[in-house]
């Protein structure tokens, strides 16, 4: 059997990059044309000039909390807040939406009419599902898009699906025993529950040999636990806004980027791309004309892995989910944001990288900016302390470290306080 979903997965990396960048100006133009909110964000931008990663990096990042705030502010006129290019009579373009979903927030997301709209087939295929398989789908089919997005991907592969949804463990376990599905699609935690319940009640679920999991962390310990019980599970990384971003392969060395995604890893609180290998926030531009979000900040941390995937896929790989980029902390009654730390660094070019550490106890906390500096001139610490006070309205200490001393974990604000 062909190990690849299509020929795109093994393209020459230079050809892939050229194709993505060639499509980028059209995507920016569509965002300006079809999405009033994106047109406002990209006001004054000539879409025809956005033909390189450097040009893309000069555009503003749209973060999820900003999308939510605008949706809430414009909800009476447009539940999408002006971000969607499709809708139904009286909403957005007045046409084009097949379904609409509600994610926590609430944030409303549109679904267009394209087959496999969220492009999940690639991840499902990489997990071993093939045409003719029965896939037991235990993602939610209510309110949120997870169940539908996975089902559409499974159908694109050629699978039959059982709409298990969430909960009703006993009934789902009975369905697995009766229908004998070839694989499972859902959260890893619920798969573990099904396997444990089957063991407790002596229910045979030996037909389940593979799984595509997502929606939560999938630690190696759980992966190995499932493998010992005959289920080889692979993870995907997707959001309701962007669809599939990356997926695991048989190599189990990071996650391979989807073919329709332009990925950037940026320093949290900024739009500045970091060097390959450095942990930062995942920012994506997906080639989707229906929901044209340019430079969408997912709020997740990850890093680019060096080299090509041993599976033969040639796209960029990321390490997977490494935490959340929104590290806002409340200090002495004031919110301190990663963007403020970035502004402090911008004011002092001697600083290579910095981390604000909040320590002590609540109501008696202390801020220390740990800054990587090669050669600190006299007076730099005092100048940085002044910038901390000007920008955050709080006093902070300054400690210097040599370049490379801070951990590569994407943290810009570290809350090290005791909450006991």
| C-alpha to C-alpha distances, 321 to 132, 150, 315, 389, nearest whole angstrom | 32, 19, 18, 33
pLDDT value of position 360: 84
Q: Which residues of the chain have pLDDT under 70?
A: 362-363, 418-420
pLDDT value of position 119: 98
pLDDT value of position 116: 97
pLDDT value of position 332: 77
Residue of 294, 408, 357, 313 lying closest to 39 (CA atoms): 294
Distance from chain centroid for Cα 401: 31
- What DSSP designation does 376 have? P
Q: CA 390, CA 393: separation in Å to the nearest integer?
A: 6
pLDDT value of position 139: 95
* Through-space distance between the first and last CA atoms of the chain, rounded to whole angstroms: 57
Residue spans of alpha helices (H) in 42-181:
53-57, 64-74, 121-126, 146-157, 169-179
pLDDT value of position 363: 57
Residue of 261, 270, 259 lying closest to 241 (CA atoms): 261
Residue spans of alpha helices (H) in 109-248:
121-126, 146-157, 169-179, 188-201, 220-228
Q: Would you mind telling me the total number of residues written for the chain in this entry?
A: 420
Which own/partner contact pairs does 52-58 have at CB distance under 8 Å and 24+ positions apart?
Answer: 52/21, 53/21, 53/264, 53/273, 56/24, 56/262, 56/264, 56/285, 56/295, 57/264, 57/271, 57/272, 57/273
pLDDT value of position 331: 83
Q: CA 216, CA 187: separation in Å to the nearest integer?
A: 7
pLDDT value of position 334: 79
Report strand pairing: 255-257 vs 317-318: antiparallel
pLDDT tens digit sequence for 181-229: 999 999 999 999 999 999 999 999 999 999 999 988 899 999 999 999 9
The residues near 220 (Cβ < 8 Å, ≥ 6 apart) are none
**Three-class SS state of 212:** strand
pLDDT value of position 269: 85
Instruction: Kindly compute the dihedral angle of the four CA atoms of residues 174, 176, 180, 181, in this order, to the nearest 10 degrees.
Output: 160
| Confidence (pTM) | 0.87
Q: CA 62, CA 221: separation in Å to the nearest integer?
A: 35
């Amino acid at each position: 059997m062909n190990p690849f979903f299509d020929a795109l997965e093994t393209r020459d990396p230079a050809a892939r990059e050229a194709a993505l960048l060639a499509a980028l100006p059209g995507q920016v133009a569509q965002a300006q044309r079809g999405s009033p909110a994106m047109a406002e964000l990209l006001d004054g931008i000539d879409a025809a000039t956005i033909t390189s990663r450097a040009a893309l990096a000069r555009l503003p990042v749209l973060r999820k909390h900003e999308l939510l705030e605008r949706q809430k502010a414009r909800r009476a006129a447009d539940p999408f807040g002006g971000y969607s290019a499709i809708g139904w009579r009286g909403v957005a373009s007045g046409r084009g939406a097949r379904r609409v979903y509600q994610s926590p927030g609430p944030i409303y997301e549109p679904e267009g009419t394209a087959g496999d709209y969220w492009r999940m087939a690639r991840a499902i295929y990489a997990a071993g599902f093939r045409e003719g398989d029965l896939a037991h789908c235990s993602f939610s089919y209510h309110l949120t898009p997870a169940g539908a997005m996975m089902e559409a991907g499974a159908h694109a592969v050629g699978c039959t699906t059982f709409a298990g949804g969430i909960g009703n463990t006993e009934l789902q376990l009975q369905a697995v025993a009766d229908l004998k599905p070839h694989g499972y699609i859902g959260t890893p935690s619920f798969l573990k529950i099904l396997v444990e319940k089957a063991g407790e009640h002596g229910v045979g679920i030996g037909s389940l040999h593979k799984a595509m999991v997502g929606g939560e962390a999938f630690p190696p310990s759980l992966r190995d636990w499932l493998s010992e019980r005959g289920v080889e599970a692979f993870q995907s990384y997707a959001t309701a806004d962007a669809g599939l971003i990356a997926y695991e392969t048989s190599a189990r060395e990071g996650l391979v980027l989807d073919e329709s995604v332009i990925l950037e890893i940026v320093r949290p609180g900024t739009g500045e791309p970091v060097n390959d290998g450095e942990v930062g926030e995942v920012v994506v531009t997906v080639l989707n004309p229906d929901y044209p979000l340019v430079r969408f900040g997912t709020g997740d941390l990850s890093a680019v892995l060096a080299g090509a995937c041993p599976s033969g896929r040639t796209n960029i790989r990321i390490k997977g989910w490494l935490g959340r980029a929104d590290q806002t902390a409340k200090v002495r009654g004031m919110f301190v944001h990663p963007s403020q730390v970035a502004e402090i660094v911008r004011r002092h070019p001697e600083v290579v990288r910095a981390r604000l550490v909040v320590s002590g106890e609540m109501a008696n906390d202390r801020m220390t900016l740990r800054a990587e500096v090669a050669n600190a001139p006299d007076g730099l610490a005092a100048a940085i302390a002044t910038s901390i006070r000007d920008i955050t309205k709080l006093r902070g200490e300054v400690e210097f470290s040599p370049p490379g001393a801070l951990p590569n974990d994407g943290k810009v604000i570290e809350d090290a306080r005791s909450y006991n």
